[in-house]
Chains A and B, each alone.
Chain A
């Protein structure tokens, strides 16, 4: 695993960039645990100070230190994205594997549930739900709601992969080697699905953070919890840009851009690296070069 990461880091610039940025952002989110200020309290520091040595990213109109505040925001956004990804990928992969390998009526039943979620218009329903739940919204609740809308895509894709694998000759070899259903799916098919799962994991994080940011900008998220989205929301509410408090709005926007870009690059380079076709090609190359 470590060797793979090292290789990727060395030979794939996209990965190197994405990975470094993510590390920095993770570091920042860890810093939040050492924050001298409670992120939900106001008026802890003087308002609207431009960046200085004392407050390196300045302060906002609510009397909060922007640097320490953004560390919480990054932590919460990443937490939200990962939580959504874990829930939705687990459900999606499981449903896809079972539907694909068992086929028949199991497949039809699972896929009709799957498809009903796909055809639901996600944004309007999300807006409706968050308006209704407004007071009770927490990171966990948002993650669960977002998962509801993202697992079916994964489910379909995994199913398609397994369906095509099921007809490959090696699946029959496994069958005639006396391997049962579960063993075949886990040992023969999962290795083909994993690269996709990993790429999709990152994509789901990306999507979830983006979704929450969108909702938050409209004021439809858990507004007390600092996330990248809510930070932008508050900055807008106080018309930070118009009033020349650019450091307040620019910080979350730049962080968001870097976060999205690096996650995207990571997902592209990992899925390329783990694609069975290039993986095989690489194995062949390594064989002759050693």
Chain B
């Protein structure tokens, strides 16, 4: 059963500066279906719109970002709700307890003047149920214990903790009210491999304990290989391929995905790796047709004119490329 549906979502950054109006088409016609109890990875190069997509999914749309079209729906068990249609009050109610968002670079969000346990209590007090508010101390301690973090972190100030521990504390904080969906943006970027591994371990553990859905964004394919069940590949504001992790790694279809997978170096293997020629396009005026066409070795005439539609070519494996589908995206 899908717990989150994204339908034809379009979100642009619109800015006017000295008379020139421009829109950055950061999320352009994206559709996704995310299942309950899965780890869903979103991969793609820097600036392709990953963070923007997450922001829209959790309903954080503030200027210059604006919603152009499409819908995001959460399955609350009883019915579908959309973050776009909720009042601020209703929205605050489901944040943290139904969907929880860990933004990019979030380890610096902990309040430096408050001890960690205070920060946890604050969240429970503002977002928790009556029952949870009564037991806030025990809930916090049990949560930290369940996640395998040392209890003494609760009694520390953020600056006393290492970067990796701070990052893990933020994750513990985001999951304190046992949300059904956890959305994490680059949770391991800028961390060392050892610490990164610790953080990912924790995410997997959280998912295992609470059986919730985890949406994780990173450009590091090796991270996806290790924890994601399914992966979506994003290129220049669009999803170009979605499939099971194994299919994406062992049987990539889209020419861009192929480059992405085949250029990854491995320890113990010194054979030559080639990467895609050229550079990612600007989203201010993306290329016509298939946005990968200026860099694609298999480009055909139709690619420059029409936009290929994301279409299922195998069970659970969809690609947006005219090598595999004839379907054209409506503009």
Contacts and interface: CB of A to CB of B under 8 A. Distances in A.
Interface of A: 7, 10-12, 278, 281-282, 284-286, 288-289
Interface in B67-95: none
Given A285-B22, A288-B22, A289-B22, A278 B17 contact: yes
Contacts of A286: 20
Nearest to B19: A11
B282 interface: yes
A285 B19 CA distance: 10
Contact of A7 (B15, B18, B22, B285): B18
A29 B80 CA distance: 71
Interface string B10-38: 00000101111010000000000000000
B20 A289 contact: yes
Nearest to A8: B18
Interface of B: 15, 17-20, 22, 282, 284-285
A7 B17 CA distance: 11
Contacts of A282: 17-18
B285 A288 contact: yes
Most-contacted residue by chain A among B15, B18, B282, B284 (CB, 10 A): B18
B19 A281 contact: no
16 contacts: A10-B19, A11-B19, A278-B17, A282-B17, A284-B284, A285-B15, A285-B17, A285-B18, A285-B20, A285-B22, A286-B20, A288-B22, A288-B282, A288-B284, A288-B285, A289-B20
B285 to A, nearest CB: 6
Nearest to A284: B284
A286 B17 CA distance: 10
Given A281-B17, A285-B15, 15 more contacts: A10-B19, A11-B18, A12-B18, A278-B17, A282-B17, A282-B18, A285-B17, A285-B18, A285-B20, A286-B20, A288-B22, A288-B282, A288-B285, A289-B20, A289-B22
Contacts of A281: 17
